[in-house]
Chains A and B, each alone.
Chain A
């Protein structure tokens, strides 16, 4: 009934979809197996993509040939560039999407790819022979053959949903949990753990009083995630902001004795940065108000997502508390919030290219690796899909460095440090934040993706060349154009910047704070004329590279320094147990992870600089 596939992807969430597309666009024959074809690319939590650090990841996915950015652009109901005031390294795109259109658009894009087949059934086991995965086994008892498998099971593995004192098996509201896989993986020697996440109630927008809330509009100029010319809707719809208060907290507290969190029924570790509302009240008792974002679920539906009110308290407590929130006095609830516990596998069991160390050609991506977030999942899916294709063609794995991409930071953290709580990306995690900007993701990554044979990058590559040429030309121009004091001093004084005493080259003026290229056009007609030939993205890139040049250069030096450690190979059979200078923790971690380079070893949690010195001494440096 089935051909022999190159790759079977289990699960069709953000990770699964990107994995399928990446492998298919590399040339693999892919089967995408999902329990329910109606829920392909479901946004299980809030209807939004991007945000600080996550927006950068979506841009990187696009630069590498993934589809998340395109789908988001075409189905977005609102776009904002966050952190505008904080410097270009921090600019982070974020979009609200129409939840149903998002999933539908993804499905159409997958269907448009002739290399992707679909199968709707629960996958209950793997076919493993001789330490290598050979296919999957389905709930009906079918065996489907493949050369590689990517597991992207999300929250479905032995998922248990909690609402107050009630609990039931499920992978998402209204959907079954997946069983069988965890048990088989444990038999194969993997170690699993439990994690927990939660989601807020959904309410009926027709029952809300928006007059009592603050309005949060999208950016009037709009914006895009993809480096391809996607068609973004012209209109946008606003979100709203409201706040909890002491009375709300009081009502919520009445449910604490029935909270699965506080009564210990949930043992899985939840994210510290995405706490439930009861968690916030409990841990930060001194605050009597918390902000809530009221987010529309789409263009036409009246369903509304109450961001910030994640809860697993009994549904009637949620309902009562909601009613005390300004604007929610008459709110009708569509469904209560809930917490969900699920199995994950400590990602230190993976290679840097997301293949498991135990079973060849078996890859893990997404929440199964202990991460949270659509963006983090999609990024891993993409990398797993690429590497599954490379593995079955005996090609070198594709590994992004921490200095290449947030995706590099993400995977490097996962495989070396593991995680105790659902892992979310923050810009703070990246050492080279100034290099890893959202505006240059394509410059950083598209050529890399092209070099490994990713198809469909022609448009992006052409754009990369355009941007680079434009940037170089503009920078050259600013180095050559002389500016006289009489041309510019009035302008400089109006910006609070010191006047010129003699002629200087334009780039010297641009390196001053608060002096922007576009603003200078008004006083420098030559510049204005020159820039006519370039679009805003190119001008902005040149400005950033100019203004940040000192920092960019220093950061590159740091990368080079770090890469020196990356080039020091550690022998695969190094007997860490014999190096007495190592701390017990470091020894244990090094034995388990077996880093390939000293650089990798330095990032393993529990391995201190003193331990690295011991390794350096041992290696004779």
Chain B
């Protein structure tokens, strides 16, 4: 898709398009390609950019054809291959007025640059061998990262976190596959074969690692995209008070979340870097008329796609049985539920604890007795929400997958590994077990790189004495 135009010099605004009051002070315009420096120079009044070394910064003016000053700017020069794209690149920091940006882009295009297509800078970086596929994807995530944790996750994966974990998994599997191939190709020769139980152990280890990596998807996804959270409860449970209190403490500074519309996402919380996309709902009540029935129906729909449900109730009014009756309407195995017994300030603690233990017995262990009016209680709620998602903070430091493509590849790998394990129990001949392993390797290779049969043979020859 980019074949016709790799020789072009491309230009684009690298920072967000300024819109209304939310625009920043500075905008960065990026040029990349063989003529990037020459094109920038043609519009720049200051030092001769073509004579400047790589990674240098220059102050000057951007002028139009008649010499009129458009803006005061800072220009960074990067020379191939030491730039993000691997090509000569220039970054122009100008003032972030839509007019100035428009003018600067126009002038650069008049001088021979072409507007970049979406993703074209990263594509060129990939094309020039600056990053592998998994890293290129991480960059796309980094650009889209909206919170501190999302940013860190993307940064870590870009430095190769998942890639190196997959490579190490692949190595272990190649060794394993090598042992089986050994039996197939050298069955007649004088080699000692690994016994089945050792092979099974090895397989278990690999499966555990793949499973671990798959488990990180939920967290990775939550960090990358935000956690779908639904706030529900009967009328007068104190939802609004709670929501406002939470927002006061934890409102996220985000302008927009793509892929959702304003009327489903009500608010976004940023709790220690994890984004919670909070959807408020109509009150839950037995539906008396059609309009209310619709509202309840909509609430149920929202909960059906949510990851976390925050259920609020007025503990001075509702019994544990009534709470359970409500909860049973949307129970789903993968829905995490935080139950907030509101209006604790109006009730003694002993009654609350009793309800809590009733709910815990029914399988709802995340229960807090709070008052939405107390700031310290709101902190508890935030903490509880955070630990629902980040069950183990150490996970944040380990390789984590957040791309659906990776998850699918891992799932396929796991499916084949499961068959291989079944095969090792005696239900498959070793040619078929080897087949399953090759498929596993193939799917892991989809994430980062490759599998060649040469790897298998090299492994065999370096580890075993072959030859009649």
Chain A: residues with CB nearer than 8 A to chain B? 51-53, 82-83, 85-90, 94, 271-275, 280, 283-284, 287, 290-293, 307-308, 417, 426-431, 433-434, 513, 551, 580-583, 605, 608-610, 613-614, 617-621
Tell me if B128 is interfacial: C-beta within 8 Å of chain A: yes
CB distance from A328 to the nearest CB of B (A): 16
- Give 21 pairs: A residue, B residue, CB < 8 Å, sorted on A: A52-B184, A52-B187, A83-B187, A86-B184, A87-B428, A89-B431, A90-B187, A271-B467, A283-B465, A284-B465, A292-B468, A308-B190, A308-B467, A428-B181, A428-B184, A428-B456, A429-B453, A434-B435, A513-B428, A619-B3, A620-B1
Interface code B122-142, partner A: CB below 8 Å = 1, 0 otherwise?
Answer: 010011110011000000000
Q: Which residues of A contact B129 (CB under 8 A)?
A: 580-583, 610, 614
Residues on A with beta carbons closer than 8 Å to the beta carbon of B429: 85-87, 90
A83 CB contacts on chain B under 8 angstroms: 184, 187-188
Q: A86-B187, A90-B431, A428-B185 are in contact. Are A274 and B465 (CB under 8 A)?
A: no
**Closest 9 A/B residue pairs (Cβ):** A620-B3, A87-B429, A291-B190, A87-B431, A284-B465, A308-B468, A581-B127, A426-B185, A428-B181
Bound Cα distance A308, B191 (Å): 13
> Does B409 make an interface contact (CB < 8 A)?
no
Q: Which of A274, A582, A608 contacts B449 (CB 8 A)?
A: A608
Task: Determine how close the nearest CB of chain B comes to the CB of A245; give it in whole angstroms.
Answer: 13
Binding site for A on B (CB under 8 A): 1-4, 6, 81, 86, 123, 126-129, 132-133, 181, 183-190, 427-432, 434-435, 438, 445, 449-450, 453-454, 456-457, 460-461, 465-468
Do A428 and B453 touch across chains, with their CB atoms under 8 A apart?
yes
Given contacts A428-B181, A610-B449, contact A617 B3 (CB under 8 A): yes
Residues in B with CB closer than 8 Å to A90 are: 184, 187, 429-431
Measured CA separation A575–B462 after assembly (Å)? 38
In the complex, A609 Cα to B3 Cα: how many Å?
18
A513 to B2, CA, bound (A): 50
Instruction: From known contacts A87-B430, A434-B435, A513-B428, infer whether A51 and B467 are also in contact, taking CB-CB under 8 Å.
Output: no
- Chain A residues closer than 8 Å to B427, beta-carbon distance: 513
Contacts of A272 in B (CB 8 A): 461, 466-467
User: Which of B3, B132, B188, B427 has the most chain A CB within a 10 Å cutoff?
Assistant: B188
Tell me if B428 and A290 are in contact (CB < 8 A). no
Give chain A residues whose Cβ lies under 8 Å from the Cβ of B3: 617-620
Given A274-B466, A434-B432, A581-B127, 6 more A-B residue pairs with CB atoms under 8 Å apart are: A427-B181, A427-B185, A428-B456, A580-B129, A581-B86, A620-B1
Query: Does B465 lie within 8 Å of A287, measured CB to CB?
Result: yes
- Contacts of A87 on B, CB cut-off 8 Å? 428-432
Contact A427 B468 (CB under 8 A): no
User: Please, which residue of chain B has its CB at the minimum distance from the CB of A306?
Assistant: B468
Name the residue on B nearest A82 (C-beta): B188
A280 to B128, CA, bound (A): 45
Chain A residue nearest to B466 (CB atoms) is A273
A292-B126 Cα distance, complex, nearest whole Å: 53
Rounded to whole Å, the gap between the CB of B459 and the closest CB of chain A is 10
Across the interface, do A86 and B467 meet the contact criterion of CB distance under 8 Å?
A: no
For the complex formed, measure the closest distance between the CB of A224 and the CB atoms of chain B, giving whole angstroms. Answer: 19
Distance to closest chain A CB from B337 (angstroms): 40
CA distance A609 to B447 in the complex (A): 11
> How far does the alpha carbon of A525 sit from the alpha carbon of B27 in the complex, in Å?
84
* Residue in contact with A551 in the complex, picked from B132, B435, B445, B460, CB distance below 8 Å: B435
Residues of A within 8 A of B454 (CB): 417, 605
For residue A587, give the distance in angstroms from its CB to the closest CB of chain B. 11
A614 touching B127, Cβ below 8 Å: yes
Cβ of B185 and Cβ of A274 under 8 Å apart? no
Chain A proximity of B38: nearest CB distance (Å) = 19
Q: Which residues of chain B are within 8 angstroms of A614 by Cβ–Cβ distance?
A: 127, 129
B467 proximity list for chain A (CB < 8 A):
271-275, 280, 308
Using Cβ atoms and an 8 Å threshold, which residues of chain B touch A609?
445, 449-450
For the complex, give the distance between the alpha carbons of A283 and B461 in Å: 11
- B4 CB contacts on chain A under 8 angstroms: 620
Q: How far is the CA of A426 from the CA of B453 in the complex (A)?
A: 10
Q: Looking at the complex, which one of A53, A275, A290 makes contact with B185 (CB distance below 8 Å)?
A: A53
- Point out the residues of chain A lying under 8 angstroms from B466, CB to CB: 272-275
* Closest chain A residue, CB of each to CB of B131: A610
For the complex, what is the distance from the CA of A453 to the CA of B189, rounded to whole Å? 40
Distance between Cα atoms of A86 and B126 in the complex (Å): 43
Write out the residue numbers on chain B whose beta carbons fall within 8 Å of the beta carbon of A274: 466-468
Residues of chain A within 8 A of B185, CB atoms compared: 52-53, 426-428
Cα distance, A583 to B127, chains bound together (Å) = 11
Q: Return the contact of B126 from the options A426, A580, A583, A613 (Cβ within 8 A).
A: A613
A608 lies within 8 A of B126 (CB)? no
Q: Which residue of B lies closest to A433 (CB)?
A: B431
